[in-house]
Structures are given as C-alpha cells and as structure tokens.
Amino acid sequence: MMIGDTFPLTSLPAVTETGAMEKDYEFVNKDGYTVVFFYPLDFTFVCPTELLEFNSKLEEFTNRNTKVVSCSVDSTHSHAAWRRTPVTQGGIGEVGYAMLSDMNRDLSDMLGILNEDGVTYRASYLLDKNGVIRHMVINDLPLGRSVDEMLRMVDALAFFEEHGEVCPAGWQKGQSGMKATLEGTTAYLTQKSAA
C-alpha cells in the first residue's frame, strides 16, 4: 500500500479506549483523521515508550479531530493484560485509545510491514476521512518514532485541505504555506531568504 491508496481494512478485533473487548471495532474516523500506528509486540521495550507518548499527546490529536489507534500482532487478551499492568511493572496502564489486534497478520501483510520474524515494523499511517493514506512512515524495530512529527503532519494535511496551499520543509502550524506553482515557490523562497 502506498500514499493515495485506501486503507485496506476499517475494522479489527480490539481492546477499546474503555478497556472493553470488541470483535469488530470500526477504527476509521469518517468525520476527521485517523492515525494508525503499528508496533511489534506487547510487553516489549521501545513499544511502551511510543504507546505512552501517543497517550500523553492524545488530547492534542483529539483537538485536531484525529482518532488514534495502535495495532500489533498480539491478541486482544494480551492487549488487555498490558493495559491492566501498571507502568511501574512493565505495562502501559489504561491508555485512552483502542488497541487493534492483527493476530492473523492479514492487515500487516496487506500493508507489507511484516518482518522476517512475523512482527510488524513501527509503521504509522495518517488517513483522511475517506480512509485514504495521506502520510506514512515505517521505522525498523530499534528506531522509535516521533509523535510530534505525526501531529505536524495532521496540521499540514488540515492546512492543505483548508487553504489549498502546500506546506514547505519544516512547516509548522501557524506558518504560511505556498502556492503549488513556480511563482508560489519563488515568492516563498524569496521571502524566506530575506528574513
């Protein structure tokens, strides 16, 4: 799957944000954006730092009308156990987003993000309200991802959709964009070099 493709599945078994288990949890936000982030396994090492970082920034995503869900090849029972385990004992506590289970590895296989050991790479996807992939990044297992960068991508997509202007390198919310024309690029670069 690539940018511009529709995300191949919109529901999976999950432990919801309330801790309930659902066999067919619809995770795509049809009124806003969806961030789906994959991690290798529950009860591991880099993974809890990422899950807790997403949880600490969950309100910022919610304020941007963005639903966050995590996904791994673990079962919902493993997810629930990890949620019940305090952070001080190797758990993640009661994170405020759903944890999807791709135990059959169907979704991970469709996305091409399984490694040779059958676990997923650290893949992150930003979906628009139609479930179309607008941003994706895939990290190798030892490389933790930047949650702030995903927030920046949500802001950039919202800016583009609202203003029709593109976002240059390093763009941050509150900055101006530029027209996707030669004249727009020239004007932007001229203004930037004068600053």
- Where do the structural domains in the chain lie, given as residue ranges? 11-145
DSSP 115-172: -TTS-B-EEEEEE-TT-BEEEEEEE-TT----HHHHHHHHHHHHHHHHH--B--TT--
Q: Is 47 among the catalytic positions?
A: yes
**pTM metric for this prediction:** 0.95
Q: Which CATH class is domain 11-145?
A: alpha beta
Ramachandran bin of 150, using left for φ above 0, alpha for ψ from -120 to 50, beta for the remaining angles:
alpha
- Per-residue confidence at 1, pLDDT binned at 50, 70, 90? confident
Quick one: what percent of the chain has pLDDT higher than 70?
100
Q: What is the mean pLDDT of residues 100-126?
A: 97
pLDDT for 193 beyond 90: no
CA distance 72 to 125: 14
Active-site hit among 15, 28, 36, 47 = 47
Q: Which residue from 130, 139, 171 is spatially nearest to 28, judged by alpha carbons?
A: 130
CA distance 112 to 125: 13
CA distance 76 to 47: 16
Read off the amino acid at residue 38.
F
